[in-house]
């Protein structure tokens, strides 16, 4: 859920203030979890992001090709495994 930006000159109700505060707290918690889980080298590239959503989108963009590469590598390994077979008279050590 997106944290609403306060418009200049518009007063929020107590309920709206409470909601905004809760959303900010949730966002801070998520940012903290992300910072703890991310490698230090990557962390430096996302420290300036203001919200957890911006951090997540940045990481998603950075690693989006990785899933495709992993899938291709897995398919290649699977193909190698399928064509691998022992010949007559061949031992496991050969």
Question: In tens digits, what is the pLDDT along the chain, a chain of 94 residues?
Answer: 666 666 666 788 899 899 989 999 999 999 999 889 888 888 888 888 989 999 999 988 887 777 788 888 889 888 888 887 766 777 767 6
Residue among 55, 46, 63, 52 nearest 29 (CA) = 52
Could you write out the DSSP letters of every residue in the chain?
-PPPPPPTT-PPPHHHHHHHHHHHHHHHHHHHHHHHHS-HHHHHHHTT--SHHHHHHHHHHHHHHHHHHHHHHHHHHHHHHHH--PPTT--TT-
């Amino acid at each position: 859920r997106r944290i609403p930006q306060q418009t200049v000159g518009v007063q929020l109700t107590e309920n709206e203030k409470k909601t905004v505060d809760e959303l900010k707290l949730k966002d801070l918690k998520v940012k903290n979890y992300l910072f703890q889980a991310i490698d230090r080298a990557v962390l430096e590239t996302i420290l300036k992001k203001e919200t957890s959503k911006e951090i997540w989108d940045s990481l998603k963009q950075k690693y989006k090709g990785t899933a495709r590469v992993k899938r291709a590598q897995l398919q290649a390994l699977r193909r190698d495994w399928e064509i691998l077979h022992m010949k007559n008279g061949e031992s496991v050590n050969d």
